[in-house]
Amino acid sequence: MNIHSLFEVWVENRQARKERLAAERTEQILRAATRVFSQKDFHEATIHDVAREAGLADGTIYLYFRNKRDLLLNVLTRPYSALLLAALGGAEISGEDDRSLLADILRRGVTMALANVDTIRFFMSAMQEVDDQVRAEAFRNLFQVGTIFEEYLRERIATGAFRPCDPVIVSRAFFGMFMIFILGQEVMMGKNVAPMPYEKVIPEVVELFLTGVTSPKDPAR
| Domain 80-211 in the same topology as domain 3-76 | yes
Helix (H, G, I), strand (E, B) or coil at 133: helix
pLDDT tens, 79-137? 555 555 555 555 555 555 889 889 988 998 888 888 878 778 777 777 777 778 877 87
For the chain, count helices (H), then strands (E).
10, 0
pLDDT tens, 145-182? 677 788 889 999 999 999 999 999 999 999 889 989 99
The CATH-assigned architecture of domain 80-211 is Orthogonal Bundle (1.10)
CATH of 3-76, one of 3.40.190.10, 3.40.640.10, 3.30.2350.10, 1.10.357.10: 1.10.357.10
Q: How far apart are CA 53 and CA 33, in angstroms?
A: 8
Q: How far is CA 115 from CA 88, 106, 108, in A?
A: 14, 14, 11
